[in-house]
Structures are given as structure tokens and as C-alpha cells.
Structure 1
Amino acid sequence: MQTQTPITVTNSRYRLGDHLMAKAGWINDPNGFCYFKGYYHVFYQHYPYGAEWGPMHWGHARSRDLVHWETLPIALTPGDPEDQDGCFSGSAIVKDDCLYLLYTGHHYYGDNDPDHFWQNQNMAYSTDGVHFTKYAQNPVIAQAPADNTQHFRDPKVWQHGDAYYMILGSQGQDQLGRVILYRSSDLKHWTYLGPIAQATNLQTEGYMWECPDLFELDGQTVLLTSPQGIQAEAKRFLNLNQTGYFIGELDYQQPQLVDRGAFSELDHGHDFYASQTTLTPDGRRIVIGWMAMWESVMPEQADGWAGALTFPRELTRVGKQLRMKPARELTALRTQTLTDTTVTLEATPQRFQPTHRQAEFKGQLDLTTTPAVVTLAVRAGAVNVTLTYDQARGELTLRRSDRSDARYAQVSGQPTALTFDLWLDTSSLEVFLNDGAVTFTERFYPQSQPHFELQSDQALSGHVQLFDLTQQAVTY
């Protein structure tokens, strides 16, 4: 068991005000996103003894409103026989007024080779949602099935009818990524049913599908996952690992995800990975992700911490496309309306100045005249993020001053308006366009107070709003 002293934050220059972070140390994937006894709960992969990835714990926070978060004690600590080298990602489910966590135990073989490992699946439980006990008979699944490699992790559990089902991210013996399915009557004893979806090509669908999530949305089955090993394709799949989705129909009898469409990216930015969803009491599907990426430079590591989670987002479906919008509860973060006005855009940038480093800038631009090239920017001296929409090409391009690699997205159809909603929080920017049809998530690191700019190469009319946001919605 760990005997070190937890790391502390030495400089708050990049600390976020309104996003979930750990008190200090490293975090990555959100885990166990759920609603239990009046609170939303989010757990996350956490290393409290350093600002780099280490033996994974489960950090924990809860909220009554998806806006104001209270940090709770660490829920899971590695070091027991079932999770000797890490409590890896997993999910939560409520059963008989008890909150159960299902998670992956990580184990190294002891030869100092980080790729020489094995994994199993374990359970912990709580009656109060704060203090957790590991199940005495762990592991609940002791080893990967015979048709699998050692990649066997990240359980997502749900109930369907009288049975419980679990999917896991995995890799078949053919070295291709896939998602496999188990069934149980009690969460303790599990029967392997086989793969429900698998990659057909290494280059286009990857060698391992991490962090799977499966749910129904407007009559269709959505499989979210984060494939590793997809090769970049022109202006798509440009991150080291991707997060995206398939839409089809889960046939529980085969079992198989049938009629699934192509893999689509969920977010087009540099810093979005390992998403997980939950259902609100009023029936909305909410998603949250890790606001970073493995290859991203993280300057905050010098200050004793690294990583954050995105704002909660509402998921909707239009045909075979998912849309993400900021959860409606987030409007409670607004503290002051700074701008609410009609604008006419020209080639000279118009500047909009928030008071703090937490702000929301949103608007709608009329695109019914001559095709235009519109540029949205967040600037703080030499540090900037610029988003360009080329209406004639239907293409969005995002560039950052601290990176040479741009990110891209296509706007489908010929929209008559461009809507935008940008959320700034110290060292993060989340961009939602055209009612959530396109999103970009970014970490960037301004040294001074940023401002927004808006311009167009053609005269455009529109309406914009600028809000200051609360500077601290998370308590530790």
C-alpha cells in the first residue's frame, strides 16, 4: 500500500475554476458516472503522489446540480491482491439502494516491462456513496477469455430486463480492437457471451477499444469507445488515440451490435478522450470526458497537478450523428451579462472582453448572403486559439499558437446560420457549434487575461452575448 505523502499544488496559475480536477496530482479517465441518493457522482483515474501517471486510484466528487462539485475522499486505492498495480477504469450501477463500482485490476509480471501485464475485473460497494468496501470475493472475473489478449479492461455495466450486462474494451487474438459482453444475475457471477463489435481493419478501426460505453438514445444503440491505433486519414483521426461512436442496434440474443454505421469522432479537438455517460433523473443522456490527451504537453505538471474533466454535456442524436451541447444546468455559472447585442461583422476584428478568465461567449451569425469566411479567436498576447469557418467549403479549422497541428471538422448541409458557444476556464476552451453538431475541446495556457475576437471577410449580421462566469464552482 502507498506510504508516500500526497503531492501539493505549488502554483495556481493554470488551475480551472469550474471544471473537475483533483486537489493535486494526476487525473485522467472519468469513471463511475452515475446518480445516487440525490447526487451525481463522478470518479476519475487519479495518482495523488505525483503530477505524472502512476498506480491508479479512483478520485471522487459529487454534485447535486452538475455545476457545483464537492471533492470526496479517494474511493479506491490499489495494492490488494486483486488490484496490485492499479485500480483502472470502470463504471457504477445502483442495485438495492447500494452503489456498486465495477473496475479493472491491473497487474505487472515483475519484469519491468510495462507492456507485460494482466488484468481482471473487480467490484466495490457503498451504502452512503462516500465510503467504499472492496468485495471480499474479488475478482468477479478472474481473467480474460481464451480468445482475448491481455488487453481486457474498463467495464461498463447496465441492467436490461432481469439481467445485468457488462461490456469490456478488449483486443482479440487477431490483434484487432473489439468490445466483449458478459451477463450476470447478481453482479458477482458473470458469463462470457462473446464480442458484440470488433474492428475489421487495423488502420481504420484500431488494435484496442478502450473505455466502452453502451446506451440507448432515441431508439438506437450507441456504442462509445476510444480506439487505439487508428491511423490519421487526411483531416480525420489526428490525435494519438480517438474517441467516437458507432450507432446500430444491440441484439441481445445473438448477441451482436447489428447494422452499425461507420466510426465517427465525438469531438474534433486536441484534448478529449475516454468519455463516459449517465442518465439524469429526467431522462437526459449526459457525457463527460478527460480534458487532455496522452501526447499533449501539460505545463501544469510543473505546478503539482495534471488533467481535468470536461463540462457535462447533453447528448442527442440526429440520424447517425451525435450532438453535444453544454448541459443546461451550466447556465447557473453565469454571474454577469457583459454583452447582449446585435453586431455587423467585417474584416476588422471586433473585440469582446470578459472580466475574468472564466467566461462564455455565444452568438448566431446570418449566413444567407455571400459565402463568408468567419474567424472566432481567443487571444491573450501571443497565446491564442483561432477557429475559422469557410462557408463555401463547409470546413472548420482550429489552430493553436502552441501547436503546429490544426484540427478540422466538416459542417454538413448548407446551414443558413452559424451558431457558436465558447466556454473559457483559465486554461481550457470548449467550443460548441451549430447546436452541438461540431465540438472542439482544448487546453491552452495564457499568461494574461484573454479576450474574444470575431470577424468575417464579408459583411455579416448577427447577435452575440458575453457572460462572466463564477470563478470557483469546485470545492476540495
Structure 2
Amino acid sequence: MLKKPVKLTDERYRLGYHVSASQGWINDPNGFCYFNGYYHIFFQHHPYSSEWGPMHWGHARSKDLVHWEELPIALTPGDIEDKDGCFSGSAIVKDDVMYLFYTGHHYYGDNDPDHFWQNQNMAYSKDGIHFTKYENNPIIEKEPEDNTHHFRDPKVWLYEDKYYMILGSQGKDGLGRGIIYTSSDLINWDYEGDMSKASSLADEGFMWECPDFFHLDRKEVLLLSPQGMEESGKNYLNLFQTGYFVGQHDYLTNTFHREEFTELDRGHDFYATQTTEVPDGRRIVFGWMAMWESDMPEKVDGWAGALTLPRELRLKDNHLYMSPVKELEKLRTDQGQDHHINKKGEVILAESVSSTEILIEVDLRNTENQEMTFALKDKENESILSLTYSQNNQELILNREDVSDPRFGMIQEAEELSLRVFIDKSSVEIFINEGEVVFTERFYAEEAPNFTIETTKQTEVESTVYKLNHSAITYLS
């Protein structure tokens, strides 16, 4: 009996310019690449319900990183090599062919979800739409001897004349790590070992998911999602984290000399990133705009999960800045409304925000110990979400009405505070000081909220509010 995709029953929380699926569940972004004039993004997808299930690869493409069209499912599980799921992976283009690398997931059949094994597989396409699984899969049959069964999420790149694959894994010592394979042909792979070696520490988690390794500003960056990091003060507050190490990689010895782990996004809803280098040399990243402990109220409407906006990564003083790609200005449908504020107290900056971009510049040169709060509020002026900035310690605190635990960020002392805020129907992404700190959040309101600013002292504030296209995604019928 053929399965039927779950039906979308309500669009009350449906996003307008974020990549998602026409129905069903999605999580991790996969296979991000540029091929034959299109940006391609894939994602973990369960089309038959709005809950996590046997993972397929959903697929969308775009010519401009702004307007996306959903394409047919690229990978479907059920073959010998991926019987219980086509888990996360990456893409690379070689000789006008797109190659996908993904993890095959297999349960032992004892109804224990933690009793599984994994392998690595490849599929390919000449048109970027129809994919053929490699006839001799798996390309890596099983985990190495020094690894546990946690062995997934291949990211492949070319360095000089050799292909490299990093896999998220868990060593026999129970610690997360990144392991490396090499190949000359994308088919035959040799195990090179643990790139993190003895530098892996117990407080860096028990499993490293979704590793991504790239060169940026004369350094190497390992971007990853470690599971099992313990909460530390105001850091590592999500169930699982996403962040990065900056360092130098010795390809001859397969050793990554790195600094400490840093979170990339400080919000409640950000996980499982994937990057690619686009034709003009920028490094662009997507993340899953949710988290495993999130309630996701949209599930009852036949869908769950979305990807973040595409963001550019820049490295400065060993800190990753993350800002919206410049192409997103194409979402604007008007010239914007400018506002000038020079007083203390609360002001409604924009009413009924749904598909909205807000630019804010705050002059801090003539104030001391200023505290200001930016908020989404309902029609009764009750806060749905708020971000408070304290000038005396440069701290940012984000609170959401539906969860009890705030999130925190710190910026360097500056003469100006700038915010760029993207609000979709049930999401908000806040970029502070050119992406020095970012908060990604989902929120669920029955009516479009107002956006307010409240200051404790008279302050110069300049802002521009843009309306955005709420139909930037074209779904399969």
C-alpha cells in the first residue's frame, strides 16, 4: 500500500520566505552547493507525517538565494544500503556531475532506537533534479575500529588534488570527534584517523554531529553540532549546541590545532549547519531553524521545521560574524519607512509585523548605563519575545514568553548598536552589530505582533522598516 504525504491543514504559522517543505517534517540542511546556475539546498525530510521519521532528502533550488522552488524528493530510504533512513550529508560538483554523500541508517530490529549501525553512501545527478544511487554502495561500509556506532554526516571537499571527507563520530572513549577519510576518485576512501586527536575533551560532548570544515581568512574553521556539552554559566543552554573551532590544520599529519569552542548563534532555535563557497568566494551557511526540545506547534497543521535565512560567514579576530546575505534585499516590496526617535520610554516602531525587515541604529556616544529593550508584543502590549541590551556590561538577554530560560550574548564596546531584524510569520532572526551576535527564534502568535523599543534614557535611534515578500517559496502542487 502506497504511503500518502501528510496534508497541510492550516497556514496560521506558515513561513513565507524561509525554505521548508510543502508538508511534513524537516530538519538538518544537507547538500548545499552551486550547480548549473542554481543554488541547491537539501534537507532531512519525513513527508508522511509532521513528526521525525525515516529520513528522506527534500530538495529546493534558487537562482538568487532568495526565491526558492521545491523540487521532487532527491533520496528515498529503503534500499539495502539505507534501509531505515538517508541521514545527513553534503554535495560536491565534479566534471559537471553533482555528487551527494549521505549516511545510511539501519536499525537492528529489536525496537530499540539506540541500537543501530551506519554506513556512508553516494548518489549522483547530471541535471540536479534526478538522482541515482551508486550501484556499489556503500562507499564506506562501517565505522573504523577506534569508533563507536555513531558515525555520520559526511562533508566532502577538495584540497589540492585530493578529496577529503570529515565525519561526525564518537571515539571508543565516549567523546565526540571528527574523523577524516581521503580519496582520489570520490569512490574509494582511506581512513586517516581522528583530526582532533587528544585535544578532544570531555566537556566538548559525547558526539559531534554535522561537521563542516573550510578555509576562511587564512585560518581553518571546524563548524559542528556537539551533543552532550554541559551547561556552563550563560553558555551551552540548548539541548545540543552549534558552534565552531578556529585553528590551523596540518594536512600532512591530519592534525587540527584549534582554539576553544564558540557558539555560532545564541538563540533557542538553531542547529545542524551546512556551508558552501558560492561563485564569488563568500562562505554561506544555512541552519535548521528549530531544536530537538522545541514544541513546534505547527505539527498539528501538517508541517514542522524550516531552514534559517542564508547567512554569510566572515572571520575577524578569530570570531565568526554571521550576517544575512546581500541578496535578501530583493525580498523588500517597498522603499521602507524611516523613523527618528530621540526620547526615553516605549515606542511602537512597527505594527502588525509578519513579513518584515527592521534596521535599527542606536547612538551610544552620549549615554551611559543605557538599557533598552526591543520586543514583539501582542495587541494587549504583552511581551511575546524581548531582547534587552545593557550598556554598562554590553550584555544582551533574550526572553520568550513560552519558555522559562533566557538566552545571552555579549558584544564588544562600541559607539553604536545596530540591529537587523527579519520577522516571518512565526520566526525572528536578530543580527547585532554586523552579525557579531545572532539570535534565531521561533514564536507562535495568533495575530501579527507589534515591534516596540523601550529605553531608560533619552537616546538617538534611527530605523527603517521594510515590508517583505511573503511568497518567495514555490511549492510542488
TM-score normalised per structure 2: 0.97
Q: Which residue of 2 aligns with 1:280?
A: 278
**Alpha-carbon RMSD:** 1.1
Question: Are positions 1:368 and 2:330 aligned together?
Answer: no
Residue 7 of structure 1: how far off its partner (Å): 0.5
2:180 maps to which residue? 181
The number of residues matched between the two structures is 471
Q: Aligned AA for 2:364?
A: L
Q: Distance in 2 between matches of 1:256 and 1:209?
A: 17
Contact 2:375/2:383 (8 A) holds in 1 = no
Contact 1:46 1:59 in 2 (8 A): yes
Q: Percent identity?
A: 56
- Distance of 2:189 and 2:195 partners within structure 1: 16
Is the 2:267–2:407 Cα contact (8 Å) retained in structure 1? yes
Query: Which residue pairs with 2:223 in the alignment?
Result: 224
What residue identity is the alignment partner of 1:336? Answer: D
Determine the structure 2 residue equivalent to 1:419: 418
Q: Does 1:152 align with 2:156?
A: no
Alpha-carbon distance in structure 2 between the residues aligned to 1:461 and 1:421:
17
Contact 1:317 1:323 in 2 (8 A): yes
Matched, 1:410 2:407: no
Residues 181 and 190, structure 2, Cα contact 8 Å, conserved in 1: yes
2:352/2:450 contact within 8 Å kept: no
Higher mean C-alpha displacement, 146-155 vs 373-382: 373-382
Mind listing any 5+ residue stretches in structure 1 that lack a counterpart? none
The aligned runs of 1:246-285 (5 Å cut-off) are 246-258=245-257, 260-285=258-283
Distance 2:189 2:336 in 1: 56
Indicate if the aligned counterparts of 1:29 and 1:273 stay in contact, CA closer than 8 A.
yes
SS in 1 for 2:15: coil
Structure 2 CA distance for partners of 1:254 and 1:147, relative to 1, 3 Å: same
Counterpart Cα distance in 2 of 1:315 and 1:167: 20
Amino acid at match of 2:408: Y
Aligned partners of 1:156, 1:133: CA distance in 2, in Å? 19
Aligned mates of 1:388, 1:341 — CA distance in 2:
20
Aligned 1:53-452 pairs, distance under 5 A: 53-197=52-196, 200-202=200-202, 204-258=203-257, 260-346=258-344, 348-354=345-351, 357-369=354-366, 370-381=368-379, 382=382, 384-412=384-412, 414-452=413-451
Deviation at 1:356, TM superposition (A): 5.3
Corresponding residue of 1:469: 468
Contact preservation (8 Å) 2:30, 2:274: yes
Secondary structure at the residue paired with 2:334? Answer: strand
- Is the Cα–Cα contact under 8 Å of residues 249 and 256 in structure 2 kept in the other structure? yes
Query: 1:23 corresponds to which letter in structure 2?
Result: S
The offset of 1:353, in angstroms, is 2.3
Which segment is superposed worse, 281-290 or 362-371? 362-371
Q: Deviations over 1:66-90 (max 9, x none)?
A: 0000000000000000000000000
The alignment partner of 2:299 has SS state of helix
1:42 corresponds to: 41
Contact 2:353/2:451 (8 A) holds in 1: no
TM-score of the aligned structures, taking structure 1 as reference length: 0.97
SS at match of 2:374: strand
Residue 29 (1) aligns with residue 38 (2): no
The question of whether the paired residues in 2 share the 8 Å contact of 1:355 and 1:468 is answered with no
With over 3 angstroms needed to count, the CA separation of the structure-2 counterparts of 1:383 and 1:84, relative to structure 1, is farther
Runs (4+) off by over 3 Å: none
The answer as to whether partners of 1:354 and 1:466 remain within 8 angstroms in 2 is no
Distance change (3 Å), C-alpha of 1:345 and 1:153: farther
1:122-146 per-position Cα deviation (integer Å, ceiling 9, x unaligned): 0000000000000000000000000
C-alpha deviations, 1:3-54, integer Å up to 9, x for none?
3111010000000000001000000000000000000000000000000000
One-letter code of the match for 1:116? H
Q: Specify the SS of the correspondent of 1:349.
A: strand
Cα distance per residue 1:156-175 (max 9 Å; x no partner) = 00011111000000000000
**Code of the aligned partner of 1:126:** S
Which SS does the other structure have where 1:330 is aligned? helix
Q: For residues 71-113 of structure 1, give each alpha carbon's deviation from its aligned partner in whole angstroms, at most 9, with x where no partner exists.
A: 0000000000000000000000001110000000000011111
In structure 2, how many angstroms separate the alpha carbons of the residues matched to 1:410 and 1:159? 36
Give the SS at the match of 1:124. strand
- The aligned residue for residue 13 of structure 1 is 12
Shift of the alpha carbon at 1:354? 4.8
Looking at structure 2, the residues matched to 220 and 272 of structure 1 have their Cα atoms a distance apart, in angstroms, of 24
Deviating more after overlay: 372-381 vs 216-225: 372-381
Distance, in Å, in 2 between the alignment partners of 1:354 and 1:276 is 34
Instruction: Give the distance between the partners of 1:8 and 1:89, measured in 2 at CA.
Output: 25
- 227-236 or 367-376, which moves further after superposition? 367-376
Q: What is the alpha-carbon distance in structure 2 between the residues aligned to residue 380 and residue 127 of structure 1?
A: 50
User: After the TM superposition, which of the residue ranges 352-361 and 100-109 deviates more from structure 2?
Assistant: 352-361
